[in-house]
Amino acid sequence: MTDAALPALPCYLNGEFTTLRDAKVSVMDRGFIFGDGVYEVVPVYGGRPFRFEEHTARLGRSLGELRIANPLSAAQWRELVMKLIDAYARSCGAKAESLDQLVYLQVTRGVAMRDHVMVQGVTPTVFAMSNRMSPAKPGDRSEGVACVTADDFRWEKAHIKSISLAGAVLSRQLSADEGAAETVMFRDGFLSEAAASNVWVVQDGVVMGAPRDHLVLEGIRYGLIEQLCRDAGVGFQLRRIPREEVFAADELMLSSATKEVLPVTRLDGRPIGSGRPGPIYQQLYALYQRAKQSS
């Protein structure tokens, strides 16, 4: 695709609002040369960013891990995002409250001559755009989705939401090649996460996930699902989960900004539990919809 073929959608780049066709970044930007940057994806429901403080807090943590100064304050990030939400809606001829959107935020170290060392005194590059959210298909919610498994061959700093996503791209392609929705990954025989989702195992009425550590990107839904489980009176636990427990689960779920919570009913061609979306998923999905309305 060429620049001219891009949609003329609004975006933000280094202090200015422009369009995707017109926005330009230097070839010497360290995001382009090294993948030296971080990103966030914020879901927007009815014109309101969902769990925005949690997203900007994780953005700050990722920037800190890469020793990149946060270029904007919390108030400035919110102002930028709200303007972008409105600009995207107007570009569609609609009101912001009538569209569900996904806002993408990216910060790179900035422009410098190529050097592996973290160059000092460089101004970070800030880019943001929004697009319409594509929700899960009704059939995926009623029937569940199929996933495949793979060894987690990514680096051991998975807790950083880095733009260096070659490992995730390769992992996700494994499932795309099989017509599956996601690739569930295991590191040394224990569940880590999926290519672009967190993974939740339900056994005996308890929702379990991988621990919060450097091997897993803690999705914003980590805290949300813990809260929803508490509201539903459902047990919640984070621990190392062996591969065999995943296949023996009563239910298996994915979570992400776009999937919200989504049931997995087949893994490597084998049914999970009854092979149908289970009652814990149904509870959490209903509570998730309620949380969206109160955001």
- State the distance between the two ends of the chain, measured CA to CA, in whole angstroms: 37
Lookup: tokens for 159: 């807790």
The type of residue at 277 is: P
Q: Which of 157, 161, 259, 292 is catalytic?
A: 161
The type of residue at 40 is: E
Residue of 10, 29, 35 lying closest to 20 (CA atoms): 10
Half-sphere exposure of 258 (CA within 13 A, CB side): 17
Q: What are phi and psi of 261, to 5 degrees?
A: -125, 140
- What CA–CA distance (Å, rounded) separates 249 from 244? 9
CB crowding 156-193: b at 16 or more within 10 Å, else e:
eebbbbbbbbebbeebbebbeeeebbbbbbbbeebbbb
| E strands in 110-197 | 125-132, 145-151, 182-187, 190-194
- What CA–CA distance (Å, rounded) separates 163 from 89? 26
Q: Any alpha helices (H) in the chain, and if so which ranges?
A: 30-34, 52-65, 74-91, 138-143, 166-177, 220-232, 243-247, 279-293
Cα–Cα distances in angstroms (integers) from residue 161 to residues 49, 57, 185, 187, in the given order: 19, 12, 17, 18
In the annotation, is 157 catalytic?
Answer: no
Active-site residues, by number, are: 161
